[in-house]
Amino acid sequence: MDNPISILFYLKRVKVNAQGLAPIFQRITINGRRLDNSTGKFVDPDKWHSEMSKMRGTSEEARSINGHLDNLKSKILNVEKNLIKKDIPVNFESFKNELTGKKERERMLVPIFQEHNRKIKELVGQEYAPGTLERYETSLKHTKDFIFWKYNITDINIEKIDHSFITEYEFYLRSERKCANNTAVKYIKNFHKIINQCLANGWLNKDPFTNYKAKVKEVIREFLSEAEIEQMMNKEFVSERLELVRDIFVFSCFTGLAYIDVKQLTLDNISLGIDGDKWIFKNRQKTDTASKIPLLPTAKDIIDKYADYPVCKNEKRLLPILSNQK
C-alpha cells in the first residue's frame, strides 16, 4: 500500500483516575500524522502490556477489554479497505473523513483554475509576463465555454475529468473555436498544468492525460530578404503612427529583439563594448538570459530619430513604443 496505517493502543498514565486506573488511548498514524482517540476503557497500569498493546492475562476483564480493542482495530482496517475499494487515495484527510463519516467536499475545476490565475496575476512583472496571464485567462474562458457546450453546466468536479473529457475538449477547440493545431495544443497544455496541480495536491489519484498525445507541428517561418527590408525602409507613409510601427519593426530586424524587449529598452541598456562601439545589454523577457547586441547604424539612426520625443526624454526610453495591439 502507498500509505500504510499503523495502529497503537497505549495508556495515558498522567490521567489516572481516583481508582488508580489509566485510560486506554488509540493512536492511528498515517504518513507521519497522528490521530489519537480515547477507547473509553480504563485499566490498572500494572496489568497493561505495552509491547503487545493489550491487557495482560485471561480474566473476564482482560478478555472484554482486549476484545473491545480488537473491534476498534478491525474498524480501522475496514475504513482503509473501504477507501481502497472506492479507489480513493489513503491519506490522513481521506481516512479521517471516512472514519468520522464526514463527506469530503467536492473540488470543482473553475475555482481551482481561477486561483491558479490569481497567483500568476500577483507575480506579473516578477516571474510572469502580462502575456502569460492573458493566455491563462483565455484558457479558462475556453474551458468554461467547453463545459457549458458539452455538459450544459457551469463547472465540473475534477474527479469527473477523464480521457474522454480531454479529447472532447480538443475537438471543441478545433471545431467550435476554429483553432489551428498548435493553438489547440497550447490551450490543452495550459489545461494540463491545472490537472498536474490537482495531482500534486492529492486531489486526483489518476492522471486523465495518461495515453493522451498531442503533437505540435513545426512551423516554417519565412524571412524577409535584404531587398524587402530595404523596400520597407524606403516606404513613405502618410500616417506618423504607421511610420513609427515600421521603424520599430525594422529596429527589431537589426537587433533581433522581440517586441516586449524593445518596449523595455532604456538609455541604461546602451553601453560601450570592448570594441569601443555602442552595444545593447539586456536580459530577455522570455528566457531571462543576458543578451549583448551590437548597435548597428540602422538601429542607431532609428533611436536618434525619436530621441526628442517627450516619452523618450522623460522616461529615458529608446523608442516611443505603441501597444502591441496598435
pLDDT of residue 56: 92
Segment 10-22 shows an average pLDDT of 91
Residues contacting 40, CB < 8 A, separation 6+: 68
pLDDT of residue 221: 74
CA-based nearest residue to 116, from 173, 198, 188: 198
Q: Which residue has the higher pLDDT, 260 or 140?
A: 140
Residues contacting 251, CB < 8 A, separation 6+: 257, 262, 299, 302, 303, 319
Q: Which residues pair with 128 in a beta bridge?
A: 124
Task: Judge whether 322 and 244 are in contact, CB under 8 Å.
Answer: yes
Give the CB-side neighbour count of residue 205, counting CA atoms within 13 A: 11
- Please give the Cα distance from 90 to 110 (Å, whole number): 25
> Please, what's the largest Cα pairwise distance for the chain?
108
Q: What is the distance, to the nearest Å, from the Cα of residue 150 to the centroid of all Cα atoms in its chain?
A: 25
Q: Per-residue pLDDT tens for 176-218?
A: 999 999 999 999 999 999 999 999 988 888 899 998 988 877 7
Q: Which residue has the higher pLDDT, 3 or 118?
A: 118
Residue that has been written with the C-alpha cell 500524522 in this structure:
33
Cα–Cα distances in angstroms (integers) from residue 26 to residues 10, 18, 55, 57, 232, in the given order = 7, 22, 14, 20, 82
pLDDT of residue 122: 93
Residue spans per domain, the chain:
5-100, 109-200, 226-315
pLDDT of residue 184: 93
Task: Give the containing element (helix H, strand E) for 211.
Answer: none
> Is the pLDDT at 101 greater than 90, yes or no?
no
CA-based nearest residue to 27, from 49, 56, 61, 53: 53
Task: Give the containing element (helix H, strand E) for 136.
Answer: helix 130-151
pLDDT of residue 325: 60
Edge-to-edge strands, sheet with 270-272? 270-272, 278-283, 290-294
- Please give the Cα distance from 147 to 153 (Å, whole number): 6
Confidence of residue 324 (pLDDT cuts 50, 70, 90): low
Phi, psi (degrees; rounded to nearest 5) at 222: -80, 155
> Is the pLDDT at 104 greater than 70, yes or no?
no
C-alpha cell at 132: 502569460
Segment 8-33 shows an average pLDDT of 91
- Please give the Cα distance from 137 to 121 (Å, whole number): 10
pLDDT of residue 1: 44
Q: Cβ of 141: how many Cβ atoms within 10 Å?
A: 10
Residue that has been written with the C-alpha cell 491487557 in this structure:
55
Least confident of 21-25, 87-91, 119-123, 236-240: 87-91
Q: What is the pTM of this model?
A: 0.52
Segment 161-166 shows an average pLDDT of 94
Q: Per-residue pLDDT tens for 73-94?
A: 999 999 888 888 877 778 887 8
Segment 105-120 shows an average pLDDT of 91
Q: Which residue has the higher pLDDT, 69 or 325?
A: 69
pLDDT of residue 288: 63
pLDDT of residue 239: 87
pLDDT of residue 44: 93
pLDDT of residue 309: 86
> Is the pLDDT at 274 greater than 80, yes or no?
yes
Q: Which residue has the higher pLDDT, 149 or 263?
A: 149
Average pLDDT over the chain, rounded to an integer:
87
> What is the fold, at CATH topology level, of the domain defined by 109-200?
DNA polymerase; domain 1 (1.10.150)
Segment 262-266 shows an average pLDDT of 86
pLDDT of residue 262: 86
Segment 28-35 shows an average pLDDT of 87
Q: Is the dihedral of CA 101, 105, 106, 112 positive or negative?
A: negative
